[in-house]
A and B are shown apart, each in its own frame.
Chain A
């Protein structure tokens, strides 16, 4: 599988003012700190981690909605970070985004047809009304909305349907890559399944590449080909789905997987959960060395001193841990 997107050593640091009025200093908040990976054509890459791990920032930095502090984002060999705004704007028809909250990401004063028409006009202002309408109808039925609903407004739709509209808006330009930022987290279970099925169908039919950002490991397991685990802005582990879920190597991945409750009373009660102590450290003052060491059951003095390098094992399994073999 050839990579369409290559992310190299991506860093996003936000300057944060701390201290009082007189002695304020600026400290960088390292939301994403040196993350590298690639995404193949037609591949779905899951990005998982807890709140504050930098997964949403990563998605936005790839699309240049947040300017990365350092590193490269190569889209078909071209570094997006170097592009002038106008050149980047033209690239956007290939690269789209779906947000978590479906209702707030749709303009309440535009009808569904107008919402979906906006990217069409932005990409090609000369598009004829008839052609635009035809593309809108096509994409609406593709995502499971009746074309008769085209003149309705977002508030007339339920959450699941709003997410379909957001997906239609992202899909109408026939993009090659969509970054989905928690697209089903705000939805109820029975509706969530419908949207997951839709994403899966679109991804297969159109050969789309997806970056699927989620905190829900069960959904990621169902949808993604490969999975990347982030913690405090750093990559902990990246592997094929089956390898990751069958045999997670990083202590954080292991804890994350064991923390998910299984909807089966016998299994859930029999399992010995690996419970991490404490909370996520503040990203303003991340621990030295390995960022996970304060909660890691395997932490050693080496973890305090040295940042673990990313090791690439057979099958492309990547891991950043000093002690994964112990």
Chain B
């Protein structure tokens, strides 16, 4: 099956007063139709910038190089007008903070209808019909009344539902969700995750789920890519990454989390140190400084992301030796 999105040696960097900051380096990843890929990493690992860069949504001082092939078209070569035709129609994004992603002075209904009249050329009447359908599948009560309200009249969970509805009205082939439940309370998060689960069953669209929460990944994703300091360090099917993580960072991440279903009456296995400064990344492996098994080679030479088996990749010298 042809991938819906292929990132090919993508680099994202930002020009700052203190020099260039490289947020994403040499990242290659492809997403096939219908699958749900989880992108996991801590803040500053480049997980959001990867997809903002791919969609042409970087801040003004940011540049993306490489190739981003979406349904046969390289998005990085397109101008803004051409991108606007694709964004919101064939590919859509859901952001973490629904409060700031909605226009505050426009009624919710108008914001949703606008998507369809712009992209699909629907009449207002037809667009409204479709909006009602999608809102209903989002389990939003009193839809008619809700459509005439403004974003500030919605709770956080409801706003996130509207964001998801907005992303779905055009039936995109690719849906990118950037920390869609991070700002929500757990019981509301459970409601939204349930919607995602239903969504996965009922649509054919591929989903990219960017998150720092491994629990969310475990419940929803088919495949996981773990990022550290702007690079993918490990990529594997979801069952494998939890059962047998290969990269020391993935292993550390899984071990250092306290878990609700297990009682550990001892210290957590914390990863020592902290993520490297993106302004002067080390020459070798970015994780070497925090890795207990690192050797001189790790400090001097950057490990390439190599294939371990047909579905698994990891970037670690130690795996090569083993």
Q: Which residues of A contact B (CB under 8 A)?
A: 50-51, 158, 160-161, 188-194, 196-197, 200-201, 215, 217-219, 221-223, 242, 245, 255-269, 273, 275-276, 279-280, 295
Contacts and interface: CB of A to CB of B under 8 A. Distances in A.
Given A193-B271, A276-B187, A261 B42 contact: no
A266 B157 CA distance: 27
B270 interface: yes
Interface string B153-169: 00101100000000000
B259 A263 contact: yes
Interface stretch (B27-35, B90-98, B210-218): B210-218
A250 B231 CA distance: 45
17 contacts: A189-B212, A190-B270, A190-B271, A193-B256, A255-B187, A257-B260, A259-B186, A259-B187, A261-B218, A262-B218, A262-B260, A263-B214, A263-B217, A263-B242, A264-B218, A264-B242, A279-B157
Contact of B261 (A161, A190, A223, A262): A262
B71 interface: no
Interface of B: 42-43, 155, 157-158, 185-191, 193-194, 212-219, 238-239, 242, 252-254, 256-261, 263-264, 267-272, 274-275, 290
Nearest to A271: B219
Given A188-B275, A262-B260, 7 more contacts: A188-B212, A190-B275, A193-B269, A221-B263, A259-B186, A267-B261, A275-B190
Contacts of B257: 189, 193, 218, 263
A263 B42 contact: no
A130 B300 CA distance: 44
Contacts of A258: 190
A50 B188 CA distance: 10
Contact of B188 (A192, A197, A279): A279
A269 B190 CA distance: 13
Contact of A218 (B43, B157, B190, B260): B260
Contacts of A161: 274
A273 B194 contact: yes
Contacts of B260: 217-218, 221, 245, 257, 260, 262
A128 to B, nearest CB: 35
A280 B158 CA distance: 11
Counting chain A CB atoms within 10 Å of each CB, which of B239, B270, B272 scores highest?
Answer: B270
A210 to B, nearest CB: 16
Counting chain A CB atoms within 10 Å of each CB, which of B157, B238, B260 scores highest?
Answer: B260
A223 B215 CA distance: 19
Nearest to B45: A188
Contact of B270 (A194, A223, A256): A194
Contact of A265 (B158, B242, B254, B271): B242
A165 to B, nearest CB: 14
Contacts of B270: 190, 193-194, 196-197
A279 B269 contact: no
Contacts of B185: 50-51, 215, 280
Contacts of A267: 218, 261
A273 B219 CA distance: 11
Contact of A50 (B158, B187, B269): B187
B140 to A, nearest CB: 11
A3 B187 CA distance: 33
A46 to B, nearest CB: 12
A160 B219 contact: no
Given A188-B42, A221-B258, A279-B155, A268 B186 contact: no
